[in-house]
Chains A and B, each alone.
Chain A
Amino acid sequence: SYVLTQPPSVSVAPGQTARITCGGNNIGSKSVHWYQQKPGQAPVLVVYEDSDRPSGIPERFSGSNSGNTATLTISRVEAGDEADYYCQVWDSSSDHVVFGGGTKLTVL
């Protein structure tokens, strides 16, 4: 089965740029989606199809995907961005949704 690997944690100071990676075998050939989950809340889609933003998501959130790594980039990080972030793909070989293990973003 397809495996997605995320770093357990990322820390960044307010106003700086956070980059959260999602590794997978030839992930660049798949569409990657990203979710933000704040404590006690349901996840929210923040980026879909590698780099598209749903309505209402700030432009500070962007995504890229190439080779074996997809990246969620959060510019000008704010305290309110502190959350867990999950990447997700659709594995067409198994017809399964696959999630990464999640990354906890801490704003210092």
Chain B
Amino acid sequence: EVQLVESGGGLVQPGRSLRLSCTASGFTFGDYAMSWVRQAPDKGLEWVGFIRSKPYGGTTEYAASVKGRFTISRDDSRRIAYLQMNSLKTEDTAVYYCIRAPQTYSGNYYLTPWGQGTLVTVSS
């Protein structure tokens, strides 16, 4: 069974840093891109960023709202994806989901399955 488990969420003060981890099982982790999506309380889904698999360069893409503050990385040997969040703002408060991102033949990405999410609360 494909499974993704996020960890590392919690309460953090504005301006501080936090690192989320996503531990994968049930599939060949290194073959897939991985993505992070967040959802603020009672709001819709907001894409955070994305890291390609190593065969596709292992490069990253970010939403404008987090670019320069957040960094996504991966450790294929440990089957873990990371989301390093720096200079956190109150508006970063959300549930953060880790998701596997399969690629279609036409080069598009979709997101499945999703982890259960981890709550990050940025507040003083």
- Interface residues of A, Cβ cutoff 8 Å to B: 1, 30-31, 33, 35, 37, 42-45, 48-49, 54, 84, 86, 88-90, 92, 95-102
Contacts and interface: CB of A to CB of B under 8 A. Distances in A.
Nearest to B35: A97
Nearest to A102: B44
Interface of B: 35, 37, 44-47, 50, 61, 63-64, 97, 104, 106-117
Contact of A31 (B37, B44, B45, B104): B104
14 contacts: A1-B64, A31-B104, A35-B45, A44-B113, A45-B113, A49-B110, A84-B44, A86-B44, A86-B45, A90-B107, A92-B108, A97-B111, A99-B44, A99-B46
Mostly, the B contact residues are loop
Contacts of A30: 108
B43 to A, nearest CB: 9
Nearest to B117: A42
A35 B97 contact: no
Q: Chain A: interface secondary structure?
A: strand
A5 to B, nearest CB: 12
B108 A89 contact: yes
A47 B113 CA distance: 13
Nearest to B64: A1
Given A95-B61, A97-B50, A43 B108 contact: no
Given A42-B97, A42-B116, A96 B47 contact: yes
B104 A42 contact: no
